[in-house]
Structure formats: C-alpha cells, structure tokens
Amino acid sequence: MSAETTPQTTDTTTSAPGTLAGRLRLVGPGIVLALASVGASDMITTMNSGAEYGLALIWVFTVGILLKFVLSEAVSRLQMSGDRSLQSHLTRFGGRLFPTLFLIAELLVGLFFGAGVIAVTTNILQALFPVLPFWPTAVVVLLSAAILVGIGRYGLVEKAMIGFGIIMFFGIVALAISVFQGQEAQAVAVETVAPTFPNGSIITVMSLIGGVGGATGILAYSYWIREKSWRAAEWKPVVRIDLFISYALVFVFAVAMSAVGAFILYGQGFTIADNDSLFAIADSLVSRIGELGRIVFLISFLAVVYTSVLGGFSGITYVTADCIRVLRRYPHQDKPEHEMSAKSVEFRGALVYLSIATLAIMSLGQPVTLVLIYAAISAFILPVLAIALLVILNRTSVPTALRNKGLSNVLLTVCFLLFGFLAVLQVRESLIGLLG
C-alpha cells in the first residue's frame, strides 16, 4: 500500500464528543501551543509597540495571530488525515527534503533556544529571591524542564503549563487594568485606540505581524494532538475549538502587553531594548502601583518565560526526533516498529542534545556567525510549511472533510507570501551581518 493511501487507524480511547461542553472539556494542546508560542521576546515586541504607537497597532497583531491560526489549523488537518507523524506526512511532497530542512532548522533553534530562556527564567527568580545563585538555579530550571519532558508523558507537561498559564493570564490582565488607572492612561487610550499604519512603513507592519507566536509551536501542535489521539476527521471540531482558545489567549497577551507598554511608556521616547529593560519596567511599577505591582509583573513574566521553556523543550524535541526518525527509516518509517514516540531513542537523544546545547551556549556565549545563520534558516520554516500544506492538502488522497477549501487556499497563499517576504528580509539582514 502506498504512502499516499495509508489508512487511518482508530486507536482513540473514545469517540470525539458531539457537544460544545464535551469539546471544551478536552481543550489542552491549544493552551500548550499558546503558552509555548509567547516568551520574553514577544513581551518586548508588544510592549514596544505600545510604547511607540499606543493601542493603534493591535490590529497588526490580530492579523498575525489569524494567519498563524490558519497554519496551525491546516497542520492539524494534515495530521488527522492519516495515522502518521507530521514529518512522515511531509515526505509525500518531496521525500526526505522537508524532514532535512526542518531538522537543520530545529537543530539550530535547539542550539540557542534553551540558553536564552533558561537564563531569563533564572534572572526573574533572582529578582524575586535575590539570595539565589545564578548557576545552581539555572541548572535546577533546566533539569525541571528536561525531566518533565523526558518522563515521556505529554499529559504531565500539559497540566504543568496550564497551571502556569492561569497565573500568567490573570497576572497580565490584572497588570493591564492596574496601569490603566488615572486620566493620563485614559487619555493615551483615547488618543491611540484608532487603528493606524505606522508612518507608511510596510516593513514595520509585516515584521510585527510575524512577531508574536512561534514557528516551532505550530509544527509541534501536530504531535501534541497526536498524543491526545485526535487522529481522525471526526476530531476536527475539537481541534478548531482548541485552536480558537489558543489564539484567543495569544491575542489577550498581545493586547495586555501593548496596553502596559502604552500606559507606562507612550510618548516618553523610551523603548525596551532587551530583557534587562523589562526588569527596569518592573522596578518602575513600584512608584505607580506599589511593590505588589512589581511582584505581579515579575511573577507574570516568570510564567510567560517558564511556559515557553516547557513548551519549547517539548516542541523542539518532538520535531527534531521525528525528523531524525523519518530520515533514518525512510521509506519504511511508518512501520509499527518505527512508531514516533516520546519514549523513542530519537526523542531521548534530541532532549539530551537540547540540554547539553543549553549549558554549552550559556557557558561559552552565542557565536555570532551561527546566530545569523540560525536566524536566516529558521525564518523559512513558516513559508516552507505553508507551501507544503497548499500542495498536500489539495490532493484527492486526503479525506474530503480535511481537504483545503477555497478560503483555506487563499489564506495559506497569503501566509506563504507574507512569511516568505519576511524570510527574505531576514536573509538580507543575516548576510549584511556576515559580510559586514
């Protein structure tokens, strides 16, 4: 039997629920996706948007979130079209090509991702508890993530992230409401609430559209729903509700952080350059809303970053392991003995690589050349994914209920063009850095 017509299995423990209440009870992977997709860099992006433009660019983040919803929904339909992993599905369009490209990208992502988020998490813990030493705390943070992911139970990671997500959600919303007090903040809201186009800058707008939400999370979502056994077309309504809640949370995050940036920094000519600036923002909140405001900001910041640690470790490990598995076993990767699993050698090996890379980069620093290459290659994940989804999900071998419709094709084309343009800009920037 060809790979084109690999039949679906129905190893789900239960059938998909037919009621809204039943579907809502199963929500989980989407929350993991939301929390994995936003981190310290997204806080900086959204707060800087608020500092410079007030609330006027919320529409830009909304467009970006919509397009990433489109990609995630298409990835989930591809995953549900057959009982095989995402990278195995992608071999239907290009053989080993896509697993090879995504493996290179994920190895580079894994090289730099852990060091950044572990260091920031440690710094936040030190700000909350100044007696904590850096390196022992960083090792504990790293081990906590590696152990949770390495146990091989996705459900455990999901529960932990939902717990931190609740803290993050209430923290950032409470913070946004707190800084809205007073006539000055209300005047900023009134002045900047109307959508605008920033100084005619199309590049600024496009960069912001691509700026909130991660590419690896979109790839990893297919593995998380596979762990939940959402493996057939009957689960499509559940997945769509799951994703709707996911990107609604990302939207709330973007709006709340834009509001905090607007109500604290708008009109002052100050922008947030790096993570250290976020700690300065936390300290400045003491004079506005008291020490409690600083603590709420830091705890919310901690929840944002640590959930990106857990989600990132899980997502990068799944994608990397699957790429290695498919490349090793192709074209026999779908045989039962080569099943994609969180207990596989490839999965454990990818997790060990990610952990060692984190410690190495934290100790030695980030080599500039590799950082520029990483930025250029990883920028192509979304446009490459978009074109693959356009081709595969229009094939007659895909079940009709999961095939692309007209609107899906239009939106995936927009994703390809937009994220492709951003990738070209990133390559240009990387080349300037390499040659300059």
Model confidence pLDDT, tens digit, residues 27-43: 999 999 999 988 888 88
Q: What is the pLDDT of residue 201?
A: 65
Among the ranges given (12-21, 160-169, 320-329), the one the predictor scored with the smallest mean pLDDT? 12-21
Q: What is the pLDDT of residue 7?
A: 39
Q: Residue count of the chain, please give it.
A: 436
DSSP 53-122: HTTTTHHHHHHHHHHHHHHHHHHHHHHHTSSS-HHHHHTTTTTTHHHHHHHHHHHHHHHHHHHHHHHHHH
Q: What domains lie within the chain, and their CATH numbers?
A: 21-365 (1.10.4160.10)
Q: Please indicate whether residue 182 or residue 47 has the higher confidence score (pLDDT).
A: 47
Q: Are the CB atoms for 308 and 212 separated by under 8 Å?
A: no
Q: What is the pLDDT of residue 5?
A: 37
Specify the 3-state DSSP secondary structure of 38.
Answer: coil
CA angle 302, 75, 78 (to 5 degrees): 150
Task: Kindly indicate the confidence band of residue 12, based on its pLDDT and cuts at 50, 70 and 90.
Answer: very low
pLDDT tops 70 at residue 6: no
Structure token digits, residue 415: 């994703």
Model confidence pLDDT, tens digit, residues 65-98: 999 999 999 999 999 998 889 999 999 888 899 9
Q: What is the pLDDT of residue 376?
A: 81
Closest residue by Cα to residue 262 from 57, 60, 65: 57
pLDDT tops 50 at residue 262: yes
- Average model confidence (pLDDT) for the chain? 89
CA angle 375, 380, 384 (to 5 degrees): 165
Q: What is the pLDDT of residue 274?
A: 76
Model confidence pLDDT, tens digit, residues 198-256: 775 677 777 777 766 678 999 999 999 999 999 899 999 999 999 999 999 999 999 99
Specify the 3-state DSSP secondary structure of 147.
Answer: helix
Q: What is the pLDDT of residue 224?
A: 96
Say how far apart CA 73 and CA 61 lie, in whole Å. Answer: 18
Say how far apart CA 417 and CA 19 lie, in whole Å. Answer: 37
Model confidence pLDDT, tens digit, residues 126-145: 999 999 999 999 999 999 99
